[in-house]
Amino acid sequence: MKAIVTKNLILNNPLMRRYRYSLLRLSQLWIYLTIFIAVIVLLLYMNYSFYQTKSDTVEIDKFCKNVYYQLLVIQIVVLWIWSTINSKSAIRNEVFNKTYDFFRLLPLSALQKTAGILLGRNLLPILFAVINFILLLTFGSLGKVSSFLQIQVILILLSTALFTNSVVLLLSNTATVKKQAKTSVFVWIVLLFVGAPILLPSIFFSHRAIWQIHKIENYLVEFYNINIPILLLITSVLLYLSIWNIIGLIRKFTLETEPLFSRLGAVLYLLGYEVIAIGIVFPHLSKSMVYLYLFWLVSLIPVVFIPVGSIKSFDHYLECCGLRRTGFHVGRGMTSALFLNSNLTLDIGLFFIWGIFSAFLAVISKADPSLYVFYLVIIFSFYLFLLLLLEVYVVYSPVLNKIAILLVFITILHLILPLLLSFTLKISSLRFYSPFGFFVHIINPFARRDFNIYTSVLIVNLLLCVIPVFLISKRYFHILTLRRKM
């Protein structure tokens, strides 16, 4: 089975053959090989000259270890930068060369297209990465670099490369397929906000960190009270995110007009994300309540942005109302079908999942139940208002082309205006009416807890929801009326 899958995805993949013929032609391959060999030879010569100048004898182990770290920098450039640039430009080049429609109609599975681009477009980086891996292992062994460290370094190099390549391809594919959709920019935000908190620590290695990487070989971090080497933990998280990136690519190649997340996919992604986030903060809950609120903040990010990536359109609402007599909607009226397929039901369900995990951690950390519940209700009021604005966009965009501009403006005012007024009017309590200000307040362990102000914040948020609820209800009734006339 494994051989058949490998054969179909790689050996018999027309995209792989296409890229192999165009990228590995001897007429251009020798140029890249010459540059690569020249860089390696120059690197070895400079290191040898440095050690020979410093001492009459060259210490082989120190010489090889220093070369190992320099080769590691080259590998990062090849796998994290060069290959990522290639993957990012793959779809764009198809559009620029006016071959994208031909690419879409190729009789290949979505997985074959994904593998064909991720591997085929990067045949040159992969070739040089393989050569460089051999050099890394050779100089690492001669330099007495721990085998366990070398394995960890190889895994984090490959997992980070897979994540960066898959995420940029997904972003470019989303922007190209729905280039006229208003939500494409928000999908970029979704993926960047979800991936960045975990990706940044591994992708932005400083020059000094690379040379000190041997010190973290046995640096253990607790994950659900299990001690795990930090490099292996980062690798595991990146592999998890990469799997979801590939699932997203398969979905976009298969269902171009559908949102990035299916309803089930959104739930499963959030569950996995929450499990990872809990595992990271769980060992530290007994030390400070700050870790609980930090979990709230970090784990709430996908709850806020996944709804944008799973948004259903106005036309989808019309379609699901028409399916009430078949399939999943047998025996259901149009109203219930519309309700079950509404963006709001999924998004509120995501918040409910987040609330369960948050409650679990609050109980473990022995938080004040009344205070915790009140915080949760207020956070939901902020969240609900933003969801309603998003739903207003969905149901009114067919009749008001520029409504997205107004809604974005309202969202910015909701997030920023209370902070500005608090600063200009010197009334500190006004900052609580912004989600940002409220989160900063509850994370601060020394802040004064004022239930009167919290109650007023809740009331204001609920009042803000009244007009969007009225507008959405009006359009829902319009959808039902329109569908009955069809």
The yes-or-no verdict on residue 96 having pLDDT over 80 is no
159-163, 288-292, 426-430: the lowest-pLDDT one: 288-292
Share of the chain above pLDDT 70, in %: 84
The yes-or-no verdict on residue 47 having pLDDT over 60 is yes
What is this structure's pTM? Answer: 0.81
The yes-or-no verdict on residue 175 having pLDDT over 80 is no
Crossing angle (nearest 10°) for helices 343-364 and 369-396? 160
Q: Which of the 8 DSSP states describes residue 180?
A: T
Least Cα distance to 195 among 229, 232, 168 occurs for: 168
Q: What average pLDDT score do residues 294-319 get?
A: 85
Contact 106, 28 (CB under 8 A): no
The C-alpha R_g of the chain, in whole angstroms, comes to: 27
Give SS3 for 226: strand
**How confident is the model over 331-342, as pLDDT tens digits?**
456 777 788 888
Q: What average pLDDT score do residues 415-427 get?
A: 90
CA distance 76 to 108: 32
Task: Write out the two tokens for 134.
Answer: 């051999």
Contact 292, 368 (CB under 8 A): no
The yes-or-no verdict on residue 129 having pLDDT over 90 is yes
| First CA to last CA distance, the chain | 49
pLDDT at 208: 47
8-17, 60-69, 308-317: the lowest-pLDDT one: 8-17
**How confident is the model over 63-83, as pLDDT tens digits?**
888 889 889 989 999 999 999
DSSP H/E element including 377? helix 369-396
Give, in order, the Cα–Cα distances in Å from 467 to each of 114, 346, 391, 463, 472: 44, 21, 12, 8, 9
pLDDT at 57: 59
pLDDT at 448: 74
- 129-143, 255-269, 332-346, 428-442, range with greatest mean pLDDT: 129-143
